[in-house]
Structure 1
Amino acid sequence: MKLLTRHLWQTIDELITKPIEKLELQARVEMLLRSRRLSLQLQTALERERELREQKSRFVSMVSHEFRNPLNIIYGFIRLLQQRNLSVERQTDFYQRILAAVSRMVALLDDVLILGKSEADGLASNPTELAIEPFCQKLIEEIKFTARTGHTINFNCEDECVTVHMDEALLRHILTNLLSNAIKYSAPNSTIELRLQCKSQTVIFKVEDQGIGIAPADQERLFESFYRASNVGKIPGTGLGLMIVKRAVERHGGTITVKSEINVGTTFTVTLPLDSKIFHLTPEPY
């Protein structure tokens, strides 16, 4: 009231003695309200800009750190391989460690590129005819070859699945990320399950592991940018993978859910329409 009085009238006496024109009062009040709205919008924009700067700074720092570790591993093992008295077994072990570090860098680079595309155009989709069962089998073989952690990946096609209409690149990114996470967060030599179900209108993928699990409080924020569960410890990661997976799933017009129990395991369920169309998503800043 004080703010309103200060802008509309010089004194209380002026308010009492001078007649008030209804249209003039309405116009002045509307001007004050408009000014207030613009001020709030400006404050919100400035706060959002500050948050974006902080997020981008975290992103650059985190990605730099994630690249530095495998590069140091590669450099170190290359130096060791220069020794002439190494046994064949030691050389083979060092080469495998180098391959694992390279695979980690490639996966991180894929995440960064996908994230950049999602910010630029909301993840462009290019659905094509895809034989889903052979696609899954081939993908599992590729992941097992690059991971080399001793995990068993079982593939179970529970229905007769022939051909679907989906974006192969986005689907590859979804399943690769989920299977790689299952491997990363479960003990060596444990078993990962990929289950495929083809229904009348949808195809369902389930990735199950026997890993460290995710606490209920963490599950609520699991798909946020840079968020990592509280029990990951020193397991490397950027907190970007699942956020990008969720965007890719939504780009297909699908859904993703998680069910998990600490020290028991985690199951991610991805449901996609059999005939994926192009869904225009508004790019979100990171």
Structure 2
Amino acid sequence: MNSRRYWKNRIPFLLTNLICMVALIVFLLVCGNSISVVLLILVVWAVVLLSGLFLTYWKRKQQMQKLLDMAGWLSERYLISEVMELPEQAEDQVYYQLLKMAGKSMLEQIGEVRRERLEYKEYIEQWIHEIKTPITAMKLLCENHRTDWTKELLLELEKTNRFTEQALYYARSEHTEKDYSVREMSLSQVVHQAIADNKYLLLQSGVRLEVEEMADTVYSDEKWVRFILNQLIANVVKYRSGQPVLRFSTRRQQDQVILVVEDNGIGISPADLPRVFEKGFTGQNGRMVQQSTGIGLYLCKRLCDKLGIGIAAESSGQGTAISLAFHINCLIHEVQG
């Protein structure tokens, strides 16, 4: 509570008491009272007045500080009226009722927004599952009737499938715990599956693959990790330069297995590197590549955080290396060693 403003608000009350004091002095002197009696009465008045004001100020300050502390502890501060006590003063009770009404209205609006978001999320998921059927059918038709134009069509279908997957995982990323299954998986297998998912894109772009031998197994959700790798592969093609090279490798680092996805593309500017995982951030490269949305790496970071996978980007201006750090416990480390 602001002390200066509190006392400033009490100025009318103090002026009223001052005027009453002056009127009392005049009255007492006219009635023939001595100066000493008048001064004694004024001193008693002033002491009682100031004591009451300071006591009221201290009590109000304690109450306000308690409310501020309670609000600071709450994660949803609009619920302050649910945890605060009913005030003693009549005017404070009016503000208390207003807070209760505002809190109730806020809860109703939040509930409505959450219902709308859930309905929209369910609609998006249903739509994506429905659209996957014709995409799969078109891919089968094109693979059974190989011509030059069907190869082009397969590439576009692969992109369409990747974009629908991106939309699906974006919708589910808020509650990944409801959709993932953590189990032992081979890094080599998941890497080759991700490469197969993007085979037409890699062939069309002339990307040379270098996949080192990977004997490590980790515990995570294979489907989500595969999606993360698909996003990284798409970025390699999108930001390629000259003869593109995509390299997969692993290394041990204390209690972690590090999967490195490295390319020789245009790289990332040092100024942009700290922000590459921010939502919607495209940086200097995004201005050169019109297809950049700033969603791919953001989704990778969000999903990695949910799955407990460390993700980091390195670039020296030429080429980029994205590292995925999988934690392993001591037992798994000994068995794999």
Same fold (TM over 0.5): yes
Aligned length: 230
- Provide closer, same or farther for how the CA distance between residues 271 and 188 of structure 1 changes in structure 2, counting only shifts above 3 A: same
Decide which structure has the larger Cα Rg and report it. 2
Alignment correspondent of 1:133? 188
Letter in 1 for 2:209: I
* Aligned-partner Cα distance in 1 for 2:183–2:211: 23
Is the 8 Å Cα contact of residues 161 and 197 (structure 1) preserved in structure 2? no
- Provide closer, same or farther for how the CA distance between residues 144 and 235 of structure 1 changes in structure 2, counting only shifts above 3 A: farther
Alignment correspondent of 2:313? 258
Is the 8 Å Cα contact of residues 238 and 289 (structure 2) preserved in structure 1? no
Alignment correspondent of 1:103? 158
Is the 8 Å Cα contact of residues 153 and 191 (structure 1) preserved in structure 2? yes
Task: Please state if 1:223 is matched with 2:277.
Answer: yes
Alignment correspondent of 1:74? none
Letter in 1 for 2:210: N
- Provide closer, same or farther for how the CA distance between residues 8 and 168 of structure 1 changes in structure 2, counting only shifts above 3 A: farther
Is the 8 Å Cα contact of residues 267 and 319 (structure 2) preserved in structure 1? yes
Task: Please state if 1:29 is matched with 2:61.
Answer: yes
- Deviation of 1:154 (Å): 1.0
Q: Which of the pair is proportionally richer in helix?
A: 2
Is the 8 Å Cα contact of residues 150 and 188 (structure 1) preserved in structure 2? no
Letter in 1 for 2:303: A
- Provide closer, same or farther for how the CA distance between residues 123 and 237 of structure 1 changes in structure 2, counting only shifts above 3 A: farther
Alignment correspondent of 1:19? 50
* Aligned-partner Cα distance in 2 for 1:36–1:166: 43
Is the 8 Å Cα contact of residues 182 and 207 (structure 1) preserved in structure 2? no
For residues 36-61 of structure 1, give each alpha carbon's deviation from its aligned partner in whole angstroms, at most 9, with x where no partner exists.
897xx67xxx9xx9xxxxxx9xxxxx
By relative contact order (CA 8 Å, sep 6+), the higher-ranking structure is 1
Letter in 1 for 2:5: L
Larger mean CA deviation between 220-229 and 96-105 belongs to 96-105
- Deviation of 1:197 (Å): 2.5
**For 1:1-286, what aligned pairs fall within 5 Å after superposition?**
1-8=3-10, 10-13=12-15, 17=46, 18-21=49-52, 23-30=55-62, 92-121=147-176, 124-147=179-202, 148-157=204-213, 161-187=215-241, 189-198=243-252, 201-232=255-286, 233-262=288-317, 264-274=318-328
Letter in 2 for 1:131: S
* Aligned-partner Cα distance in 1 for 2:253–2:14: 74
Is the 8 Å Cα contact of residues 209 and 247 (structure 2) preserved in structure 1? yes
For residues 94-134 of structure 1, give each alpha carbon's deviation from its aligned partner in whole angstroms, at most 9, with x where no partner exists.
32333222222222222222121122456743111212223
Any gaps of 5 or more consecutive residues in structure 1? Answer: 50-55, 57-90, 276-286
- Deviation of 1:249 (Å): 1.8
Letter in 2 for 1:191: V
- Provide closer, same or farther for how the CA distance between residues 273 and 35 of structure 1 changes in structure 2, counting only shifts above 3 A: closer
Any gaps of 5 or more consecutive residues in structure 2? Answer: 19-44, 72-76, 79-105, 111-116, 118-145, 330-337
Counting aligned pairs with the same residue, the percent is 23
Larger mean CA deviation between 201-210 and 99-108 belongs to 99-108
